[in-house]
Amino acid sequence: MSVTFLSPQAPTALVPCWICADAKRWEEDPTAKCCGTCDGMMEQSTLPEINFANGNARGVLAIMGCDPEDLCGALSASEIPVVLQRLLTVINVESQREHLVAPPSVEKGAKGCTVFWGGNTDESTLRRLHSIQDLLSKAAKGGFGVSWG
């Protein structure tokens, strides 16, 4: 499972369909389409969309001051400046992020399955925070809200 952060009210633009491009590449057919009704173009948000694994999304939501257990929520445009101020502090103060750093680990399940946890570095946390900061600042500039789920 994963959580996608996006701005549903943001304007969209027509861009080449990446699915058709992929079909052309794999089938080596310049006329290949992803489906019969596709005209080769698709609407895409002009603002970034960010996708995190549930655990990483919980960490980011906690830093944002949102409920980390609520993996489906939203911020209005008026709430974004407060969250951006919080993010700026966390981005610039390493001690605010160190609780998210975790080494890789292996967990043996009771029924024989093995789960490999990739861990988390400070660099990966910063990358996620900068991604969210970019989305939130662009949404705030346009007067749009941000939602996740």
Look up residue 66 and give its DSSP letter: S
The phi and psi torsions of 12 (rounded to 5 degrees) equal: -115, 165
Percent of the chain with pLDDT over 70: 97
Confirm whether 34 is domain-assigned: yes
Confirm whether 134 is domain-assigned: yes
pLDDT tens digits along 25-74: 666 777 777 788 888 888 999 999 999 999 899 999 999 999 999 999 99
- For residue 16, what are the domain limits? 2-95+124-141
Token digits of residue 149: 């789920």
- Say what the pLDDT of residue 25 is: 65
- Say what the pLDDT of residue 99 is: 87
Which contiguous run of DSSP H or E holds residue 12? strand 12-16
Which amino acid appears at position 25 of this protein? R
Q: How many domains does the chain have?
A: 1
Confirm whether 17 is domain-assigned: yes
- Residue 78, SS3? coil
Confirm whether 86 is domain-assigned: yes
Confirm whether 53 is domain-assigned: yes
Q: Listing from the earlier edge strand, what are the strands of the sheet with 73-75?
A: 50-53, 2-6, 146-148, 73-75
Confirm whether 12 is domain-assigned: yes
